[in-house]
């Protein structure tokens, strides 16, 4: 009989404090996701710019200036202001031009904390 009484008074589910803790954790993760998604969207845009430059037959792969101007224009159109000339390296070897963009992106998270990532994207132009 006493076991029946003990099982009837056991708590089922979360307490108010448990719900608050779960909501707090969910809120922190949601804010993190909201801050991280634009960083990866920007990286996706940079990848697509590099692929467009790779496919564009009007660009002379031997001219670093022509390549940079094309990249710069495409980034400007896509509103990516983060990439500067010093983030882009171009090397030519065996008739192939390799374009690499290496950069870091940081966004404020909470207070003096930041969320960021380091990215490096490359394409090879074989013309």
- What is the per-residue pLDDT for 110? 86
Structure tokens at 60: 């002379």
pLDDT along the chain (127 residues), means of 10: 60 85 95 94 97 95 95 96 96 95 94 94 93
- What is the per-residue pLDDT for 12? 75
- What is the per-residue pLDDT for 2? 56
Answering whether pTM is above 0.75, one says: yes
Residue 23 CB partners (closer than 8 Å, separation 6+): none
- What is the per-residue pLDDT for 4? 57
- What is the per-residue pLDDT for 13? 80
DSSP string, the chain: -HHHHHHHTS--S--HHHHHHHHHHHHHHHHHHHHHHHHHHHHHHHHHHHHHHHH-TTS-TT-HHHHHHHHHHHHHHTT--S--GGGEEEEEETTEEEEEEEEEEEEE-STT-EEEEEEEEEEEEE-
- What is the per-residue pLDDT for 9? 66
């Amino acid at each position: 009989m006493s076991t029946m009484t003990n099982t009837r008074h056991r708590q089922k589910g979360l307490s108010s404090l448990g719900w608050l803790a779960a909501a707090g954790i969910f809120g922190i993760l949601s804010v993190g996701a909201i801050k991280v998604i634009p960083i990866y969207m920007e990286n996706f845009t940079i990848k697509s710019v590099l692929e467009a430059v790779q496919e564009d037959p009007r660009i002379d792969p031997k001219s670093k200036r022509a390549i940079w101007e094309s990249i710069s224009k495409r980034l400007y159109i896509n509103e990516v202001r983060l990439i500067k000339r010093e983030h882009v390296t171009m090397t030519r070897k065996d008739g192939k031009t390799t374009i690499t963009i290496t950069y870091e992106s940081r966004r404020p998270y909470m207070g003096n904390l930041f969320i960021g990532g380091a990215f490096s994207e490359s394409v090879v132009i074989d013309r």
